[in-house]
Amino acid sequence: MCGIVGILGKSSVSTNLVDALRRLEYRGYDSAGIATIEGPGIERRRAEGKLRNLEKRLIAEPLGGRTGIGHTRWATHGRPTERNAHPHMTAKVSVVHNGIIENFRELRADLEAKGHKFETDTDTEAVVHLITEELDQGAKPVAAVRSALQQLRGAFALGIIFAGEDDLMIAARKGSPLAIGHGSGEMYLGSDAIALAPFTDAITYLEEGDWAVLRRSGAEIFNIDGVPVERPLVKAVASALLIDKGNYRHFMAKEIHEQPEVISHTLANYLDMTQARVRFPDLGIDLSKLTRVTISACGTAYYAGLVAKYWIERYARVPVEIDVASEMRYREAPLPENGLAVFVSQSGETADTLATLRYAKANGQRIASVVNVRTSTIARESHTALPTLAGPEIGVASTKAFTCQLSVLACLAIAIGRARGTISAEQETALVNALMEVPRHVASILRSDEAFVAVAHELSKADDVLYLGRGSSFPIALEGALKLKEISYIHAEGYAAGELKHGPIALIDENVPVVVVAPEDELFEKTVSNLQEVAARGGQVILISDASPEKTGCKLAAHIQMPKVDSFVAPMLYAVPTQLIAYQTAVLMGTDVDQPRNLAKSVTVE
């Protein structure tokens, strides 16, 4: 996870840049760097490792510029060396970047063919040369960035400065958050308001797709179409500077919208993005000889495990046993030799999950845990902790932790499949490429908020809602129903679509909305038959699918159009609309979204 800062100051900014980076160190700390405008040029200092190494470098070789950008890195593309550390630059421009530029390989090939010389293995350098190319062609800085942004695919945040331009900084946000800070005769840029707290509490949060031109006199903000827009200036209160809601009404909304960023950080921890390969930690067991994977967890984390069962069985061809931890801990399940037990927990403190972990450990299983809190008990008691990089999750209803858990488990499935030879190198590349595109697709789903408000109006009138899905969409149906009931208090149940006619169909009438999670995969036709059964009985079908509504052959109450993706990654994307539907419904119902009644974030009792 990388941190970005930028300052247009009245005097030398290097000390303040480093101060701000220190507050962002939680986002990444394998290397750091700053660049400042020095006369007609740009100078930079970078250092591998912790921020203190950069500080030492700056004492030896100070920078005096009044305009500068800084970065603390969490490596995605390219090893954590000084050469790969940000800022990246040419003689004309310098860039700090957070996120992933998906099409960097194509851009790089194209720019190299035009004579640009690349020095690093990073995706960011493609952005630097792309802007330089525009400048070489005669574009002014703002036009050069506008054109470059149109050519970038992926989820990212950027801070950009230009040689000889002492009163200019450009920022862009697509998928990764960015905050602009307003000072008196000074302007700031940061990955979050926490970084800017020592300098200002007057903050403007860029919205998805926004880019901004900063000068000491203020900021001009443009939306994704290049149209000037006004974004509110908010006062960040002291306590909010620790746990910050940004410009969102609820933590849950913020956390839903953080997903492009945190998924990409989590994926970057388990993938070699440059080679399109999985780079998974050694689990201390020969994966090629695995006899069984046993998964256990509670609630939303359990549903992440259930998706993993579909993935591991299908792609790695290993039997997977899964149960909720509150059951598994007392079942005295026999566990095999050479077995891997995987525990999934956001908090890492859930009592039932921990008890099951101890049971599995005592029964000779190798223990891996997918946790969001690295220092948690579950992490500490595991042989290997597999962290999700979701950042603190404050909303009680789990959202970003879930999709980050899926990110880790998807990589685990590929790692086991590769070790067992059930996935070829080519298939691995294709699956990894599909994973790398997930943050961008999630960002695109998050842009269609209005569709979810319309669905929420339907659901808020209902007493009961059903969610249906098949294959790896079944756990997403379960998760969607859980999300809705826990924050809106509307009764909701998830079913495997094929189970409908074995009982739940008796519930269907015109008052029961049915949310159908149905990517157009090899099971789509089967799910459509179930959907028709619902429609024929007057049920209100809300379809979440990449297929066109006509393909269902029946009248839909609503259709959430999803992007076309490899079916492997579909659960990671289809979770997002179910979160937004639940969130918007709860907002309409006026419930306490972040702290729904009776629920606790960390369940440390049975």
Chain positions contacting ligand F6R, by CB under 6 A = 298-301, 345-347, 350, 353, 397-398, 482, 486, 602-603
In the complex with ligand F6R, the residue whose CB is nearer, 353 or 444, is 353
**CA separation, residue 380 to residues 367, 384, 408 (Å):** 11, 8, 18
In the complex with ligand F6R, the residue whose CB is nearer, 398 or 530, is 398
Question: One-letter amino acid identity for 597?
Answer: R
* Helix-then-strand count for the chain, H and E: 19, 27
Going by C-beta distance under 8 Å and a sequence separation of 6 or more, which residues neighbour residue 99? 2, 154, 155, 156, 157, 174, 175, 176, 260, 261, 264, 439
Does the annotation count 411 as an active-site position? no
Nearest residue to ligand F6R by CB is 299
In the complex with ligand F6R, the residue whose CB is nearer, 24 or 397, is 397
**Long-range contacts, 361-368 (Cβ 8 Å, 24+):** 363/335, 364/335, 364/337, 364/339, 365/294, 365/335, 365/339, 365/340, 365/341, 366/283, 366/284, 366/285, 366/339, 366/340, 366/341, 367/341, 367/343, 368/283, 368/340, 368/341, 368/342, 368/343, 368/412
φ, ψ dihedrals at 318, nearest 5°: -115, 135
- Residue 237 CB-density burial (10 A; 0-12 exposed, 13-18 middle, 19+ buried): exposed
CB 321 within 8 A of CB 333: yes
Q: How far is the CB of 581 from ligand F6R (least distance, A)?
A: 14
Q: How far is the CB of 465 from ligand F6R (least distance, A)?
A: 16
Q: How far apart are CA 24 and CA 420, in angstroms?
A: 40
Cis peptide before 87 (omega within 30 of 0): yes
Helix, strand or coil for residue 159?
strand
In the complex with ligand F6R, the residue whose CB is nearer, 120 or 602, is 602
DSSP string computed for 100-115:
EETTHHHHHHHHHHTT
Q: How far is the CB of 368 from ligand F6R (least distance, A)?
A: 15
DSSP string computed for 339-391:
EEEEEEESSS--HHHHHHHHHHHHTT-EEEEEES-TTSHHHHHSSEEEE----
Q: Which two tokens stand for residue 294?
A: 């046993």
Q: How far is the CB of 471 from ligand F6R (least distance, A)?
A: 22
Q: How far is the CB of 363 from ligand F6R (least distance, A)?
A: 21
Selecting among 50, 361, 526, 601, the annotated active-site residue is 601
Q: How far is the CB of 326 from ligand F6R (least distance, A)?
A: 10
Q: How far apart are CA 494 and CA 508, in angstroms?
A: 14
Helix, strand or coil for residue 466?
strand
Q: How far is the CB of 486 from ligand F6R (least distance, A)?
A: 6
In the complex with ligand F6R, the residue whose CB is nearer, 264 or 347, is 347
Question: One-letter amino acid identity for 433?
Answer: N
Q: Report the DSSP pairing between strands 234-235 and 202-205.
A: antiparallel
In the complex with ligand F6R, the residue whose CB is nearer, 210 or 594, is 594
In the complex with ligand F6R, the residue whose CB is nearer, 75 or 396, is 396
Q: How far is the CB of 587 from ligand F6R (least distance, A)?
A: 16
φ, ψ dihedrals at 158, nearest 5°: -130, 145
User: What's the CA dihedral at 421, 422, 424, 425 to 10 degrees?
Assistant: -60
Q: How far apart are CA 388 and CA 385, in angstroms?
A: 10
In the complex with ligand F6R, the residue whose CB is nearer, 168 or 370, is 370
Q: How far is the CB of 575 from ligand F6R (least distance, A)?
A: 11
Does the annotation count 404 as an active-site position? no
In the complex with ligand F6R, the residue whose CB is nearer, 301 or 412, is 301
Catalytic residue list: 2, 601
